[in-house]
Structure 1
Amino acid sequence: MAASDDNGITPAFKNKGNFYEYFETYIKGYLKKDVRMFGDSLKYLKEYAQTDYLATKAVTEQFCKGFREFMDNHPNLNGETPYDFSAKFKKVIEQAVRDKLFIVSPA
């Protein structure tokens, strides 16, 4: 669910935002050693969504659940890796909530 202003109306720019761009901006500002895991999480997100543009409004609870299942069943991911990538994705989602891209976390 996209964020809304005080009157409950979602600003058009937030409906049309590309979530990949938001994710990439988050990664550029992240300075800790595990930054590569965010990049890998984004890579698998793009593989799951199979699109070059992911509208912020398309990132729903169902989408997030599907992404987690996709990673759990991915042949190149095993052990704790799907969990770790999911945790990085959720961290970006939580920041997006603080930045008011979402009213509540879809993850």
Structure 2
Amino acid sequence: MNFLKIANKKGDKFYYYYDYGRCKGQRPSTGVFTYKTPKTQVQKNHNKEALLILETKKSQLTIEAQATGGVYIPHHKFKPNFLDYYCEYVKLNKKDGNRHLENSLTHFKNFINKDFISNVEVTENFCKRFRQYLLERFNGETPMNYYARFKWVVKAATKDKYFHSNPTEDISAVTNPSTGMKENLEADEYIQLLRTPCSNQEVGARSSIGWIAPYPVVYSYQKIQS
């Protein structure tokens, strides 16, 4: 891998570019420049550091080229903190109107209760414990939805060579049948409740003209989930 060195219009600096070819977009900037004729010690030090950065970039690109097609992934391509990978995945894949992916990250952070977790800690048993953690705290389809999104993240990380094999492959996302009414609904469940058609014709007719029934109408949590 070579870099192109191009002088600026004033002629006092050199800017360096990757050289992948002569087609459009094949010579992106490295973001590094050096002074053509350094006049101060600061400028001399800058040139020294800039050239070291270029050598590092060149070395990394050489290692990546040699690793292409193999199972080895250069260390500098990895995010050492799996949380950083998780956060980036959520940022790139979240959808408006559906917070399952974002909520899965929130509860994953609560589960590990720390700011750093390496990929080697995310084992099959770890994934089982996380699934159980969700099942103990949520009913209906909520734990299934959150864990399913976690599985998406781990599957993507496996394809990116963070894992030799997918630790969630044999651990399916499952629902937690409700045993009764929940005291509090998740945001997604509350929205689903608002959208649930009213099967009681009398209540529906009165609510359509702005009249609120003087007696409570109770829906079972199973009804909301259906």
Kindly indicate whether the alpha-carbon contact (under 8 Å) linking 1:72 and 1:78 is maintained by their aligned counterparts in 2: yes
Normalization by structure 2: what TM-score?
0.40
4+ residue runs of structure 1 moved beyond 4 angstroms? Answer: 9-16
Aligned-partner Cα distance in 2 for 1:84–1:102? 23
Aligned counterpart, 2:128:
65
C-alpha distance in 2 between matches for 1:96 and 1:52 = 19
Shift of 1:36: 2.1
1:24-73: CA deviation from partner (whole Å, max 9, x where unpaired): 11011115346521111011111111111111111000100000000000
The structure richer in helix per residue is 1
Would you say 1:52 and 2:115 are equivalent positions? Answer: yes
Aligned to 2:155: 94
> CA offset at residue 12 of structure 1?
5.4
In the alignment, is the contact (CA less than 8 A) between 1:45 and 1:67 conserved in 2?
yes
Match of 1:30 in 2: 93
Residue 84 of structure 1, aligned match among 142, 145, 162: 145
Q: Is residue 20 from structure 1 mapped to residue 48 from structure 2 by the alignment?
A: no
Aligned residue pairs: how many? 100
Go from structure 1 to structure 2 and tell me whether the alpha carbon gap of 1:35 and 1:100 turns closer, same or farther (over 3 Å shift): farther
Q: CA RMSD in A?
A: 2.3
Q: Which amino acid aligns with 1:42?
A: L
Pick the structure with more strand per residue.
2
Higher relative contact order (Cα pairs below 8 Å, separated by 6+ residues): 1
Q: Secondary structure at the match of 1:89?
A: helix
Percent identity between the aligned chains? 36
Residues 46 and 35 of structure 1: CA distance in aligned 2, closer, same or farther (over 3 Å): same
Q: What is the CA–CA distance in structure 2 between the aligned matches of 1:56 and 1:42, rounded to whole Å? A: 15
Shift of the 16–99 alpha-carbon distance from structure 1 to 2, 3 Å rule, reads: closer
Q: 1:52 to 1:61 in 2, by over 3 A?
A: same
